[in-house]
Amino acid sequence: MRGLDERRTRPVAGAMRAGGQTRPQAAARVACWLALCLLAPFGCSQGGGAGDGGGEDGQAGRDGGDAAGGADVDLEGGFGILVPEGCQLCSMCGRAGDALGEYLHKGRISLRPGLQRLPREQDSVEVEWIESLELGPSASVAAPVSAGRFERSLQGSAQDGVYRYTFTQGFDLDGAPVAVSFRTDFEVTSGRAVEPLRVLDLDTLSVDAWNAGEARFEMRAVWQDPRSQLGEVHQAYSTCRYDLFSPVHVDVAIEGGDRLQLDYRCPPSGAVIVILSTVCPCPLVSAVFDAGGEQRRVEDHFRLVFSSTNHCNLDQSSLVVLDEPLGAVAAIRVPGGAYDEVGGYPPTWLEYLDAAFEPVERREISNWSSSR
């Protein structure tokens, strides 16, 4: 991959038609942000995680410090998860199939703000932790069908080990079950927690949800939906804001004078590129479409899709669903995206779709320009 400031502009060869198009290459990640407002009445913190404080005799003691907006949080020897006001996590496109499949299965989770205490000695804690789960193109709110619950497991010993807390809750959307899960680990050394307070702030939530590796949390959902190819869709969630990820801007000149601008946010990738099923999420965060002297701007999470699998670059697809159709065009599908080249060539065509996602017209791309 080239440097972040390098710009690439290539005219598309006229002889390269739809059947011979190639696609992009690279590894990727995603973009995310969540402000820390809780307990900070003057605004949102963009600081890192919690402090290292811990009490004596193996107690977590008081902790929080700057991570809690300056407040002192007493965890009573246990652990805690601090959720800022307005905390939301968005699904990262990954394993729902093509771009249309991803569009049908996007999601957003709103968490209940406040401090969730997790006692060391308690195996299970029942909590109302998810405020809402929105799914699908209309952001329909799924109904909870079971109580939310944190369950504890211990790897190693209570003096030197890892406490894992896994949250699960069941939901239903129009008869389709959805199971949401969240997990986070707390390391203990000589009886003291290394980081007893986990703050779901900008740094913590800004991860590649599919290839997080050493991330301090993981949130997933499994949606049983007969519309999907496999009968179920696995979702991975990260923050809905993308300040800490690298921007990728793509400017597409379209045959006939139309123009499409696409803005992605890509984190450094932990993806294993040699695996065919590797997902390289790079959220499409905004799009601008100009045609016939009119313009449509789209910034809605549920109307923007980028799907990238198969070595990350061989199966790329971007989908923009307009808030309001422009003539007969309700959506634009592009067989490419943030990783703009395979074998040195960008995409050579795109499709205009109607409100039923049926093709209206295929247009040649006269110029594809990307900047990082």
Amino acid at 296: R
CA-based nearest residue to 76, from 62, 89, 87: 62
Instruction: Calculate the alpha carbon distances from 298 to 283, 284, 304 in Å.
Output: 13, 10, 8
Over residues 289-297, mean pLDDT: 97
The answer to whether residue 272 scores a pLDDT higher than 60 is no
The answer to whether residue 290 scores a pLDDT higher than 80 is yes
Copy the structure tokens of residue 351. 């499709």
Torsion of CA 177, 301, 214, 314, to 10 degrees: 90
The answer to whether residue 325 scores a pLDDT higher than 70 is yes
Burial 31-42 (b: 16+ CB within 10 A, else e): bbbbbbbbbbee
Q: How many CB atoms lie within 10 A of CB 287?
A: 25
On whether the pTM is more than 0.85, the answer is no
Provide the pLDDT for residue 339: 74
- The pairing of strands 124-127 and 88-92 is unpaired
Burial class (CB in 10 A: 0-12, 13-18, 19+), 83: buried
- The pLDDT tens digits of the residues spanning 134-147 come to 999 999 999 999 99
Q: How many CB atoms lie within 10 A of CB 325?
A: 14
* CA–CA distance, 57 with 77 (Å, rounded to integer): 10
- The pLDDT tens digits of the residues spanning 303-319 come to 999 887 655 556 788 99
Provide the pLDDT for residue 157: 95
- The pLDDT tens digits of the residues spanning 225-235 come to 777 766 788 88
* CA–CA distance, 133 with 140 (Å, rounded to integer): 8
- The pLDDT tens digits of the residues spanning 100-156 come to 888 999 999 999 999 999 999 999 999 999 999 999 999 999 999 999 999 999 999
Percentage of residues of the chain with pLDDT beyond 90: 50
The answer to whether residue 372 scores a pLDDT higher than 60 is yes
- The pLDDT tens digits of the residues spanning 162-203 come to 999 999 999 999 999 999 999 999 999 999 999 999 999 888
Q: How many CB atoms lie within 10 A of CB 22?
A: 18
- The pLDDT tens digits of the residues spanning 328-350 come to 999 999 988 887 655 457 889 99
- The pLDDT tens digits of the residues spanning 5-54 come to 333 344 443 333 333 333 333 333 333 333 333 333 322 333 333 333 33
Copy the structure tokens of residue 244. 């800490």
* CA–CA distance, 65 with 52 (Å, rounded to integer): 9
DSSP summary character for residue 159: S
